[in-house]
A and B are shown apart, each in its own frame.
Chain A
Amino acid sequence: MRRVGSLLAGVAASLAGVAAAAAVLHAREVRSPVPPDTDRLLYLRSGKTADRVFLSFDALAADVYWIRTIQHYGRDRHSTRPDRFTLLQPLLDLTTTLDPAFNIAYRFGAIFLSMESPNGPGRSDQAIALLEKGLKANPNRWQYAHDIGFIHYWYTGDLPSAARWFERAAAMPGAPEWIRPLAGVTLAQGGDRQGARTLLRELMTSNEKYIREAAERGLAQVQALDDLDALAMLLERLHQATGRYPADWIELAHNGVPGMPPRDPTGVEYAYDPATHTVALGAGSTLAPLPRGMSR
């Protein structure tokens, strides 16, 4: 009995110690956090040097750099530091130099780089350069040509370039049938939401989860653009009928408008400014910023 008692006391003391240590660590993180590391340094910036340094472990090193890329992107997305995402492009360049066939690093890396603030650095130029590097190393990957077209379509708004890249992707071996009409649609109806929906729905069939998630977000953004237009029209109609704009969503609900307060596809309430009578995405919506210049 006494032996069991001493065992329990020992175990309890150990567990209490671990819990107390965790509490001290938590106190350190709250009261005296790690001083911000202002110089973020990558020892190896040149992919060619890294290629030599890692001897026969290039593929493994590429995996490590890819994991670092994900961590860097994930952390900086939630950070407020001014130099967010500064290491993103060098990390992706290192990863793809060490393993030139690292498919997801090109495709998902391009999405990381293209996304506008606060979700990314908004560097479509770097994203396109990364995908062009991928095409040079893997000339038969129609996906990279298609992704460059998509970046022009969605982020830069350069529709002739988008159409040219879709055409190039369609001409590559193994490219699916649906890409060729995209080039024509892009040129004919360039920048319209219906064309964007067609493109995004095709991307939803991608084998890569991250591409599907990016497409899903794009579809939600297009839906939000439609919602914002519909809400603006509703406000105008009410103004014409009553001679005044509502003070808030509740007033609209009292006027018999269903579905108030309106929410975007992620469930965040749309923001209404009664001073300017404009509607926008609510604070904290992950759909911000919405693509520019996309007509109905």
Chain B
Amino acid sequence: MIRRIRLVAWHVFKESVRDRVLYAIGAFALLLVGASIAIGQLSAGEDVKIIKDLGLSTIELAGVLMTIFIGVGLVAREIDRRSIFGLLSKPLPRWEFVLGKYAGLILTIVVNVAAMTAALYLMLAYLDWQALPVERRAWDAPAADPRLLVSVLLITAELALLTALSLFFSTFSSSALLSIVFTVGIFVTGLFSAELRGFGDIVEVSPTVAKFVGGIGWLVPAFSAFSDVKAQVVHGRAVPAAFVFYTLAYAAIYIAALLAGAVTIFSRREFK
């Protein structure tokens, strides 16, 4: 079973790294991470902070683009090319196929996030190397601060959740465009989930409306929950271990729920 899932995952990974979209997004991300040095120069003494901010945001943004554009095509492409018939005729249970697809895309995302993180650390190390001691003393935290990895870990968890969401939509929609619309729609709603949960505090509405909107805020995937600590790690402040644990547990449970839904739908789907 594990061997079959691993085979599907490896196939997805190989296919994804050949995808031109991936290279376009990767090049854009590396360019933006590199450009942050120039942007940092304009920031009057806050260059390290701005490079960290831009770097982490770029990793997140590029990861989101990769996940959406590659993730929604995972199943749709197989149906489009009719290769799904060949695959399903083999002794491969459908749930293993879905899990293999998911694992393959996660591998692609993790490799890309690791490459972008390495690029960010290289740049920060360069900045550290050429800075004067007096400049270093003015920084909130060391340039190549390992605490940034906490934020990278949470971004990776966010992307894993987004991957599960895009896979979920791609299992019941044959149109990649529709899957993109659904995924982006829920992603954007999830970014506002904290505002939705506290809707009654921000806007004066009736308690019923506040509760209804708050309920939606609890149910949609809370993508904003993963970005909450970016400002903390950039300033070198400690992030409580319990916070990281709860966030990762949240992602893991939600991913399991989405994959269960994806497997249920895909197992019943008929292909003509």
Q: In whole angstroms, how far apart are the Cα atoms of A20 and B264 in the complex?
A: 19
CA distance A13 to B260 in the complex (A): 7
Chain A binding surface SS class: helix
Q: Which chain A residues numbered 88 to 132 have a C-beta less than 8 Å away from chain B?
A: none
Asked whether B257 lies within 8 Å of A35 as measured between CB atoms, the reply is no
Give the docked Cα–Cα distance between A21 and B253 (Å): 5
Cβ-Cβ contact count across A and B, 8 Å cutoff: 91
Residues of A close to B229: CB separation below 8 A: 34-35
Question: Mask for B92-125, Cβ within 8 A of A = 1, else 0?
Answer: 0000000000000000000000000000000000
Q: Does B228 contact A (CB under 8 A)?
A: yes
Question: Are B201's CB and A78's CB within 8 A?
Answer: yes
Q: Mark A1-43, 1 if CB is under 8 A from B, else 0.
A: 0010011011101111110111011111001111101010100
Count contacts on A: residues with CB < 8 A to the other chain. Answer: 33
- At the interface, yes or no: A135 with Cβ under 8 Å from chain B? no
* CA–CA, A22 and B218, complex, Å: 6
A-facing residues in B196-255 (Cβ within 8 Å):
198, 201-203, 218-219, 221-222, 225, 228-229, 231-232, 235, 237, 239-240, 242-243, 246-247, 249-250, 253-254
Q: Is residue B76 contacting chain A, with contact meaning CB distance below 8 A?
A: no
* Whole-angstrom CA separation of A26 from B195 in the bound complex: 14
Q: Is B256 an interface residue (CB 8 A)?
A: yes
Residues of B within 8 A of A70 (CB): 202-203
**Is the Cβ of B225 less than 8 Å from the Cβ of A13?**
no
With contacts A9-B264, A28-B243, A35-B237 known, what are 11 further pairs, Cβ within 8 A? A10-B260, A10-B267, A13-B264, A15-B257, A18-B219, A21-B253, A21-B254, A22-B219, A32-B246, A33-B243, A70-B202
Could you tell me if A74 and B203 are in contact, using CB atoms closer than 8 angstroms?
A: yes
Contact A13 B257 (CB under 8 A): yes
Query: Is A71 located at the chain interface by the 8 A CB criterion?
Result: yes
Residues on B with beta carbons closer than 8 Å to the beta carbon of A15: 257
Asked if B257 contacts A21 (CB within 8 A), the reply is yes
A48 at the interface (CB under 8 A from B): no
Interface assignment of B12: CB less than 8 Å from any CB of chain A? no
Nearest Cβ on chain B to A290's Cβ, whole angstroms: 21
Q: How far is the CB of A18 from chain B (nearest CB, A)?
A: 5
- Complex Cα distance A63/B197, Å? 22
Say yes or no for A75: interface residue by CB 8 A criterion. Answer: yes
Pair A74/B228 contact, Cβ less than 8 Å? no
- B261 on the interface (CB 8 Å rule)? yes
Q: Which residues of A contact B268 (CB under 8 A)?
A: 3, 7
**Contact A39:B254 (CB < 8 A) given known A6-B264, A32-B246:** no
Q: Which of B195, B232, B249, B265 contacts A71 (CB 8 A)?
A: B195
Bound Cα distance from A102 to B267, whole angstroms: 54
Q: Which residues from chain A sit less than 8 Å from chain B, CB to CB?
A: 3, 6-7, 9-11, 13-18, 20-22, 24-28, 31-35, 37, 39, 41, 70-71, 74-75, 78
CB of A6 within 8 A of CB of B267, answer yes
- CB-based contact B253/A20 at 8 Å: yes
Are A10 and B263 interface neighbours, CB within 8 A? yes
Known: A31-B246, A35-B237, A39-B235. A18 touches B257 (CB 8 A): yes
A33, B237: Cα distance in complex, Å: 15
Nearest B residue to A4 via CB reads B268
Contact surface of B with A, Cβ cutoff 8 Å = 195, 198, 201-203, 218-219, 221-222, 225, 228-229, 231-232, 235, 237, 239-240, 242-243, 246-247, 249-250, 253-254, 256-258, 260-261, 263-265, 267-268
Residues of B within 8 A of A17 (CB): 253-254, 256-258, 260
Which residue in B202, B219, B239, B254 is a CB contact (below 8 Å) of A75?
A: B202
Supply 24 A–B pairs (Cβ within 8 Å), ascending by A.
A3-B268, A6-B264, A7-B264, A9-B264, A10-B265, A11-B264, A14-B258, A18-B257, A21-B250, A24-B246, A24-B250, A25-B225, A25-B250, A28-B246, A32-B242, A35-B240, A35-B243, A70-B203, A71-B202, A74-B201, A74-B203, A75-B198, A75-B202, A78-B201
Residue of B nearest to A74 (CB): B202
Q: Find out whether the CB atom of A24 lies under 8 angstroms from the CB atom of B253.
A: yes
Residues of B within 8 A of A27 (CB): 246
Given contacts A3-B268, A6-B267, A35-B232, contact A24 B249 (CB under 8 A): yes
Q: Known: A22-B218, A25-B222, A34-B228. Contact between A10 and B239, CB under 8 A?
A: no
A residues near B267, Cβ cutoff 8 Å:
6, 10
Residues of B within 8 Å of A39, CB to CB, are: 231, 235
Query: Given the complex, which residues of B lie within 8 Å of A28, measured CB to CB?
Result: 225, 242-243, 246-247, 250
In the complex, how many angstroms separate the beta carbon of A124 from the nearest chain B beta carbon?
Answer: 23
CB distance from A218 to the nearest CB of B (A): 17
A18 to B222, CA, bound (A): 11
Q: Nearest 6 A-B pairs (CB), nearest first?
A: A17-B257, A10-B264, A28-B246, A74-B202, A14-B261, A32-B242
Q: How far is the CA of A110 from the CA of B76 in the complex (A)?
A: 53
Smallest CB gap from B202: residue in A? A74
Check B261 against A11 for contact (C-beta < 8 Å). Answer: yes
In Å, the complex CA distance between A34 and B229 comes to: 7
Closest chain-A Cβ to B152's Cβ sits at a distance in Å of 18
Q: Report the Cα distance A21→B193, complex, angstroms.
A: 14
Interchain nearest-CB distance for A4 vs B (Å): 10
